[in-house]
Amino acid sequence: MPGKLDPTSDRPIYKQIADQLRSAIESGEYPPGEALPSEAALSGTFAVTRMTVRQALDVLKAEA
């Protein structure tokens, strides 16, 4: 992780990040009970603002 983000896609960046985090969780990269990286770390990894990361995490939380 991470894959590439597509700024030209119709899918918002925060949803692209949520998709990649979901895939990483499902593949076992982040096993059950293990914390995800911090917002600041994910912000750096994806080169986006913390607000964008927070939106992505909110999407995943809503699915739980």
Domain ranges of the chain: 13-63
Distance CA 11, CA 3 (A): 15
Distance CA 44, CA 62 (A): 23
Cα 2 to the center of its chain, rounded Å: 9
Find out if CATH 1.10.10.10 is the number for domain 13-63.
yes
13-39: pLDDT as tens digits:
999 999 999 999 999 999 988 999 999
Q: What pTM was estimated for this model as a whole?
A: 0.92
* C-beta of residue 43 within 8 angstroms of C-beta of residue 53: yes
